[in-house]
Structures are given as structure tokens and as C-alpha cells.
Amino acid sequence: MGKLIKIIFSILFPIFLLNCHSNTPKELVVFDFESDSELDRIHWECHALFFLSDEHVTHGKRSLKMELYPSDYPGLTPIFKENDWRGFKALCFDIYNPEEKQVQVSVRVDDKKDYPEYKDRYNKRFILNQGMNQISIPLNTLVTSGKDRNLNLKNIYRLLIFTASPEKRVTLYLDYIRLT
């Protein structure tokens, strides 16, 4: 009987190990702003200009310089190649504020193709101090503002990083948007 258990264990244990190994990488770089082709994956709208820059880089050789002009919600809306965020723990990015005063940015995440109302999407404000700021948003905190439900991580359609009604031009440098 002991020999039979050893044989079964020697067959099933490797199968168990293979099934426990996740195919999800430890990190997925969503945007790194290393080439002009990444600029083609941004929704361009009035009151926001984007440039590749070699300043305030945290990963690779370039960052994204954002010039956000007075309007309602100027900012970045990237077009995703990967909508399934399951298997990751956090959305992270680095953002440099060259201003002497703090700047407030908002992050919005939608899990619906249509543009959901404020209460049916993730919304959070962050205060950026002068210099480099590292933002990390645990994916298990992606809850709709109405606190009704967790976002469906299998279907993330939209990420927005923006300022709300700036009174003057705001310049920020963004780099290394990733899922960890």
C-alpha cells in the first residue's frame, strides 16, 4: 500500500506544481513611452499636449511630458492593448511634478465600454508633491465610487489620469505605467 501511495504521489505532485504555476507575469508594462508609436495609443483631445521627453525618466530612456491647459478635465487617456488585469496586485506609475506647489490629479478606471456615471466607476484623487511621486493603487481597492461593487478586472476598458479645472497650464512627466 505504501508503494502505491508513493507512485501516485510521484505522478500527481508534478501535475499539482504545474497547475499552481501562474502564467501571469510578475509585471506588465502598460506604457513606458519609449517610442513614437506609444503616442498613437493616446486619445488626443483639446487642452492637452503630449511629448516624449528624456527628463524625469524612471524606466527606460523616455517619459511622457504632459502639458495640461485650463479646461474641465485635461489629461491622459491611453488606449490599452491588455484589458484583463486579473492576476496582478496593483496599478503603478511614476509622475513628476516640476511645480513648486502641490498638484492634484485624478485617476479614473472604467470596467464598462460605455462611459459609466461617476458612481459606477473607480475615481480617486492624488496630491502630487514637487518632484517624483510614485502612485500605487492596489487592484482590490478598485471599487466604484458608489461603493456598490468591485470593478471587473477581466474587462478594464479605460484609464484616465487628469487634472480637474486647472486655472493655469500644468506640466507633469509620466512614466512606467505598469501592473505588478
24-68 pLDDT per residue, tens = 579 999 999 999 999 999 999 999 999 999 999 999 999 999 999
**What is residue 20's predicted lDDT score, i.e. its pLDDT?**
47
**What is residue 8's predicted lDDT score, i.e. its pLDDT?**
53
**What is residue 18's predicted lDDT score, i.e. its pLDDT?**
45
**What is residue 73's predicted lDDT score, i.e. its pLDDT?**
97
**What is residue 148's predicted lDDT score, i.e. its pLDDT?**
85
**What is residue 80's predicted lDDT score, i.e. its pLDDT?**
83
**What is residue 147's predicted lDDT score, i.e. its pLDDT?**
78
Asked whether the beta carbons of 50 and 43 are under 8 A apart, the reply is no
**What is residue 11's predicted lDDT score, i.e. its pLDDT?**
59
Residues in the chain with pLDDT < 50?
13, 15-21
User: What is the distance in angstroms between the CA of the first residue and the CA of the last residue of the chain?
Assistant: 46
The model's pTM is 0.85
Per the DSSP assignment, residues forming a β-bridge with 162 are: 75, 106
Helix, strand, coil percentages, rounded to 5, for the chain = 15, 40, 45
**What is residue 17's predicted lDDT score, i.e. its pLDDT?**
43
